[in-house]
Chains A and B, each alone.
Chain A
């Protein structure tokens, strides 16, 4: 960590806090978070959590804070990122700011509230009071950086017992105006007792600009709640992307996360959940596909804090060219979390022989009556299967794409929203042409 890296953020921070319209409690949180970020600095590879990923490409850049509306995105430009679905409740953010004219969240079912953070600060202080409660800025530098610069995002509230009929799509899009800019979206997703919802969080770009997204999403699930949370990282090819999701799960709740990542040049995804009530379950799945010089790091953390919970984790990576993939899956089982049932699997498919993968399962178990397994494999295209397909007339390129798709098929099958699954299947088939 270099002081100059932090120094470059000081001016942007002073500007934000001097003319901001945010309430005073936000301003004081920003100040405290910025101080913490300055103290922590950008993590280096000496930091165990960042051992395989150097943040210096991000630290070495100077980014301009995109805190006012700057984008020029037309509705039809969003079509490729909408999964061909209609009837979804969509909040669109352009270059970090809510764009109501592009959003479709007027007619919401009873018990569902969607707000943008910048207006919720004044309109619903009791809600946004929960900002920072789950994602603490004390520990992680990027979360601190986000808290220092947060200015917009989505606030999703599902009341007790409400089962929402259609997915909610939070679509963060950047355009060419985002060049050299940074965004720090902060989202809150609150799912009430026995409520059920699907939220898609997309990060996409209509340009090849270089920019930095640093998102934090805080998720709370009350007793018996179910949330299916799909994160689609399809940033522009020169983008930097760090995102952190921190979930807290009450009794009998189920959090299902799917993290899909194909974009960006240097990306890091953190998905953390705490099973904080008995009988809950966490399912964290992911698929990342990289080529060229892409670097994509995926860290998950499941904390079993109460007994009788289960966790399932399946992350798959497909790597080509000189790309670098990282998976680090942590599972902590507290002493009281007896009867924990945990399973973690990480599989990587290497399509050439110049890519690089680091995989690190980390199980820390302090209870004695638990069932926890983990496994990691790294492999290449099966030559026997390749020959079998070719012997049926299928050409080399299609045969390889089919086998690549086949590798990802089981994790794609876990996607319960048909429109997303079909689109991701198509993307998987077409990714490595």
Chain B
């Protein structure tokens, strides 16, 4: 059984259809890159997988670890191991990062039938995770993303990912707004978290991030469907030829996103 099977997924925001029959299968241990021009539906895919109620699924199915993902509340998805690194992480003034991280961590532990962690143990865990994303412990006492720079926000997303140890991580434009040093830190974090039994979907507009997080598969999205899939070289080819190369030609492999399987 694959970790994630998306079949003919259709979704809209308000009256506007954004996903128009998207299919994608992700297995454990794999990294998939989903690329596409602005407005192609990349972020919508990420939000729909995480369960954002602002997006309405109008057709198709998503099976996660054998369960109907679309029937699950966002918090249940997270407790089952799905993690979305937001393109625009939300600022929550007044709630400290430490409190937020520990609350999230404990909710996920409870869902797994594990004991809640006490603050001291949690502090030890945080030391290790902070080092992974090159962040200072000061950020724990600051409010969630409040007043953070763009780079700090993205690193905070990866920190949360490191703490929550998801089985399926979806990185939505995690590279946008990052300078090369921050990009490297974020990518290193993602690579360190890679394991045989988890998977990552990297949603990005640019090929740049894929120099650091090397995908097993690359999919090109346009008009809410996957038009072309290939190996990591596809990203380089796209960089070279531009999205028009795919989107203006006839759809290749539409609806059949899996290659090399």
Q: Is the CB of A409 within 8 A of B93?
A: yes
Task: Give the distance in Å from the alpha carbon of A385 to the alpha carbon of B75 in the complex.
Answer: 13
Task: Give the distance in Å from the alpha carbon of A384 to the alpha carbon of B51 in the complex.
Answer: 12
Q: Which of B52, B53, B94, B107 contacts A398 (CB 8 A)?
A: B107
Task: Give the distance in Å from the alpha carbon of A406 to the alpha carbon of B99 in the complex.
Answer: 12
Task: Give the distance in Å from the alpha carbon of A396 to the alpha carbon of B103 in the complex.
Answer: 12
Q: Does A403 contact B (CB under 8 A)?
A: yes
Looking at chain A's contact residues, the main secondary structure is: helix
Q: Does A391 contact B (CB under 8 A)?
A: yes
Most-contacted residue by chain A among B50, B74, B104, B107 (CB, 10 A): B74
Q: Is the CB of B95 within 8 A of A390?
A: no
Q: Is the CB of B95 within 8 A of A402?
A: yes
Task: Give the distance in Å from the alpha carbon of A398 to the alpha carbon of B94 in the complex.
Answer: 15
Task: Give the distance in Å from the alpha carbon of A242 to the alpha carbon of B89 in the complex.
Answer: 44
Task: Give the distance in Å from the alpha carbon of A104 to the alpha carbon of B101 in the complex.
Answer: 41
Closest B residue by C-beta to A428: B94
User: 8 Å CB contacts to B: which residues of A351-402?
Assistant: 382-385, 387-396, 398-399, 402
Q: Is the CB of B84 within 8 A of A391?
A: yes
Distance in angstroms from A263 CB to nearest chain B CB is 24
Q: Is the CB of B93 within 8 A of A410?
A: yes
Q: Does A211 contact B (CB under 8 A)?
A: no
Q: Which of A383, A385, A392, A405 contacts B104 (CB 8 A)?
A: A392
Q: Is the CB of A390 within 8 A of B93?
A: no
**Known interface pairs A392-B100, A393-B104. Does A385 touch B90 (Cβ–Cβ under 8 Å)?**
yes
Q: Which of A390, A403, A408 contacts B92 (CB 8 A)?
A: A403
User: 8 Å CB contacts to A: which residues of B82-106?
Assistant: 83-84, 86, 89-90, 92-95, 99-100, 103-104
Chain A residues contacting B100 (CB-CB under 8 Å) are 389, 392, 402
Q: Is the CB of B95 within 8 A of A392?
A: no
Distance in angstroms from A316 CB to nearest chain B CB is 11
Chain A residues contacting B84 (CB-CB under 8 Å) are 391
Q: Which of B92, B108, B164 contacts A388 (CB 8 A)?
A: B92
Number of interface residues of A (CB under 8 A): 24
Q: Which of A387, A393, A403, A410 contacts B107 (CB 8 A)?
A: A393
Distance in angstroms from B62 CB to nearest chain A CB is 16
Distance in angstroms from B50 CB to nearest chain A CB is 5
Q: Is the CB of A406 within 8 A of B95?
A: yes
Q: Which of B77, B86, B104 contacts A394 (CB 8 A)?
A: B104
Closest A residue by C-beta to B99: A402
Q: Is the CB of B107 within 8 A of A388?
A: no
Closest A residue by C-beta to B111: A393
Distance in angstroms from B77 CB to nearest chain A CB is 8
Q: Does A137 contact B (CB under 8 A)?
A: no
Contact string against A for B residues 222-260, beta-carbon threshold 8 Å, 1 for contact and 0 otherwise: 000000000000000000000000000000000000000
Task: Give the distance in Å from the alpha carbon of A398 to the alpha carbon of B102 in the complex.
Answer: 13
Distance in angstroms from B168 CB to nearest chain A CB is 13
Contact string against B for A residues 401-422, beta-carbon threshold 8 Å, 1 for contact and 0 otherwise: 0110111111000000000000
Q: Is the CB of B90 within 8 A of A388?
A: yes
Chain B residues contacting A394 (CB-CB under 8 Å) are 75, 78, 103-104, 107
Chain A residues contacting B73 (CB-CB under 8 Å) are 390, 396
Distance in angstroms from B171 CB to nearest chain A CB is 13
Q: Does B79 contact A (CB under 8 A)?
A: yes
Task: Give the distance in Å from the alpha carbon of A382 to the alpha carbon of B144 in the complex.
Answer: 14
Distance in angstroms from B144 CB to nearest chain A CB is 8
Closest B residue by C-beta to A404: B94
Closest A residue by C-beta to B107: A393
Chain B residues contacting A398 (CB-CB under 8 Å) are 103, 107
Contact string against A for B residues 56-77, beta-carbon threshold 8 Å, 1 for contact and 0 otherwise: 0000000000000000011101
Task: Give the distance in Å from the alpha carbon of A93 to the alpha carbon of B154 in the complex.
Answer: 55
Task: Give the distance in Å from the alpha carbon of A405 to the alpha carbon of B84 in the complex.
Answer: 24
Task: Give the distance in Å from the alpha carbon of A119 to the alpha carbon of B139 in the complex.
Answer: 54
Q: Which of A390, A403, A406 contacts B75 (CB 8 A)?
A: A390
Q: Is the CB of A391 within 8 A of B111?
A: no
Q: Is the CB of A402 within 8 A of B50?
A: no
Q: Is the CB of A406 within 8 A of B78?
A: no
**Known interface pairs A394-B107, A398-B107. Does A406 touch B74 (Cβ–Cβ under 8 Å)?**
no
Task: Give the distance in Å from the alpha carbon of A390 to the alpha carbon of B164 in the complex.
Answer: 13
Closest B residue by C-beta to A396: B75
Chain B residues contacting A390 (CB-CB under 8 Å) are 51, 73-75, 78
Q: Is the CB of A392 within 8 A of B160?
A: yes
Q: Which of B51, B79, B92, B107 contacts A385 (CB 8 A)?
A: B92
**Known interface pairs A392-B160, A392-B164. Does A405 touch B94 (Cβ–Cβ under 8 Å)?**
yes
> 25 A-B residue contacts at CB 8 Å?
A383-B53, A384-B90, A387-B50, A388-B86, A389-B100, A390-B73, A390-B75, A391-B51, A391-B52, A391-B75, A391-B84, A391-B86, A392-B83, A393-B111, A395-B107, A396-B75, A399-B75, A403-B92, A403-B95, A406-B92, A406-B93, A408-B94, A409-B94, A409-B95, A410-B93
List 18 other contacts, CB 8 Å, given A391-B83, A394-B78.
A383-B53, A387-B50, A387-B52, A388-B90, A388-B92, A389-B92, A391-B52, A392-B78, A392-B100, A393-B79, A394-B103, A395-B75, A399-B75, A402-B92, A402-B103, A403-B95, A408-B94, A409-B95
5 smallest A-B Cβ distances: which pairs? Answer: A409-B94, A406-B94, A393-B78, A392-B104, A388-B90
Residues of chain B touching chain A, judged by Cβ–Cβ distance below 8 Å, are: 50-54, 73-75, 77-79, 83-84, 86, 89-90, 92-95, 99-100, 103-104, 107-108, 111, 143, 160, 164
